[in-house]
Structure 1
Amino acid sequence: MTETRERGRADLRRAPERYRSTPADGIETRHAFSFSGHYDPKNTHFGALLACNEELLAPGAGFDEHRHRDTEIVTWVLEGALAHRDADGHAGVVRPGMVQHLSAGSGTAHTERNLGGADTPVRFVQMWLQPDVLGTPPAYGLRRVEPDPDGPTLLASGMERDAGTPALRLRRSDAALWLFTADPWQPLPALPAAPYRYAHLTAGSLGYRTVPGPQGAGRSLEPGDSVRITGEAFADPTAGPDGAELLLWEMHSPVAYG
């Protein structure tokens, strides 16, 4: 039993298994966790992650003004351009290769739309994280990412070890979001160790073993697939014929209640 706990689990969730919703004309959302009208008491979060949505907004479509509070919202655009505007005066256009962070804090309202005049959809991944301090003033950040050629690229972090880096600052002191890339047939750089890791493949394909060593079964990921990882599971991740791009959450504690 001890060995099983140490090895942990790599819980694979396929893209077609996501909950689908169409909250407005021209919007299609695929939810990894219970969200809006989809509720499963066994699938409300993983680690400190509350949501991981793949969004598709048609030209001219978008989310009208709506409110959030006490949520860290991180956005990674895959195709097109996403226009953000919030009630605190922040505005930005998020394109591929950029990462956006909205810390809702004590409460803010925002809109998110396909950039005006665009004739193609915008597709993006949006992830919600529970902060560990509530009621803070809202904050916003947007940066272009310069990929690290020698290893993973840190996109956002609240960890003390990452203070002073270009990463956007999260209000979760034990969590970080990484971008991993690999050329065709190449292994991914070493993943950070953490009790909870959430991997979401955004491009290419990826093979891995469920646990280290010969007893680990082989699995593969396609775009939109995700893995919820505990312990030493998810071993030897290696890109397929078109390379791979992977978002990975490093989380050292779960959602806190009360």
Structure 2
Amino acid sequence: MTDTSERPRADLRRAPERYLSRPEEGIETRHAFSFSGHYDPKNTHFGALLACNEETLAAGAGFDEHRHRDTEILTWVVEGALAHRDSDGHAGVVRPGMVQHLSAGSGVSHTERNIGGAEGPVRFVQMWLQPDAFDAEPAYGLRRVDPAQGGLTLLASGMARDEDGEALRLRRSDAALWLVRAGAWQPLPELPSAPFRYAHLTAGSVGYRTVPGPQGGGRSMAPGDSVRITGAAFADPVAGEDGAELLLWEMHSPVSYG
């Protein structure tokens, strides 16, 4: 898709609009962008974000070993527990309130499965970001998140300003992933500004204006909805009756080719 805009824009994409795939029994994925056999030349990425998949794995289901290269893979579990194991010897179980980062670098294989013995599904959001350092040694990180006061928590970042904090380190020097939370009917905290921002709602609801001022139309988000934000769009966001939790990408440059 086009990564430039003549004016600020908040492009709302509803959850049912995502491409739905069921590659194997017990696996259901809703894709925000072109992915695998599904190709839309007008929807290949936004900013530096290459994929944002909502995954559901039934009890006993999972992805068999598969390989990645030169991709930053971030995983946030909404429900259940996800078991990860990779060819570099890393293994972890990702649960709600934890964030996982796999930097594929020069190449790594991994499996992802609903944790053994689970009776219900695991639901998670997995996001792929283009790095700006290629062919590096693969790396892995997993951390439990202690939500910050004020509702804005840094989950992962490659930016120099964040290198001394607890956030997982990305191999992209101008991008960061945030967790945003707000209570019932409360305004969202002030969000970081960037040329490209991608907001994905994981729980609750959010109402907002498309742009600041009286020219901004009113919109609302439900779980699974996302907004692709350029410039100063996405104004005055407020949580609904059940509060809100969303993942927000702050990106200062788009995908680079060549």
CA–CA separation in structure 2 for the residues paired with 1:229 and 1:152: 18
List alignment gaps of at least 5 residues for structure 2.
none
In the other structure, the counterpart of 1:42 is 42
Matched, 1:84 2:84: yes
TM-score, normalisation: structure 2? 0.97
In the other structure, the counterpart of 2:243 is 243
In the other structure, the counterpart of 1:64 is 64
The alpha-carbon deviation at position 32 of structure 1 amounts to 0.1
| SS of residue in 1 equivalent to 2:204 | strand
**Contact 2:151–2:182 under 8 Å retained in 1:** no
RMSD: 0.8
Q: Deviations over 1:140-191 (max 9, x none)?
A: 0000000012240000000000011110000000000000000000000001
In the other structure, the counterpart of 1:123 is 123
Matched, 1:142 2:112: no
**Where in structure 2 are the equivalents of 1:225-240 lying within 5 Å?**
225-240=225-240
**Where in structure 2 are the equivalents of 1:202-241 lying within 5 Å?**
202-241=202-241
| SS of residue in 1 equivalent to 2:254 | coil
TM-score, normalisation: structure 1? 0.97
CA–CA separation in structure 2 for the residues paired with 1:110 and 1:24: 17
The alpha-carbon deviation at position 36 of structure 1 amounts to 1.1
CA–CA separation in structure 1 for the residues paired with 2:163 and 2:256: 24
Q: AA paired with 1:92?
A: G
**Where in structure 2 are the equivalents of 1:16-31 lying within 5 Å?**
16-31=16-31
Matched, 1:8 2:8: yes
In the other structure, the counterpart of 2:167 is 167
CA–CA separation in structure 2 for the residues paired with 1:149 and 1:122: 28
In the other structure, the counterpart of 2:108 is 108
CA–CA separation in structure 1 for the residues paired with 2:203 and 2:36: 27
- The 4+ residue runs of structure 1 with deviation greater than 2 A are none
| SS of residue in 1 equivalent to 2:16 | helix
| SS of residue in 2 equivalent to 1:161 | helix
CA–CA separation in structure 1 for the residues paired with 2:84 and 2:154: 22
List alignment gaps of at least 5 residues for structure 1.
none
State the percentage of identical aligned residues.
Answer: 81
The alpha-carbon deviation at position 60 of structure 1 amounts to 0.3
The alpha-carbon deviation at position 38 of structure 1 amounts to 0.8
The alpha-carbon deviation at position 37 of structure 1 amounts to 1.3
Q: AA paired with 1:217?
A: G
CA–CA separation in structure 1 for the residues paired with 2:62 and 2:151: 35
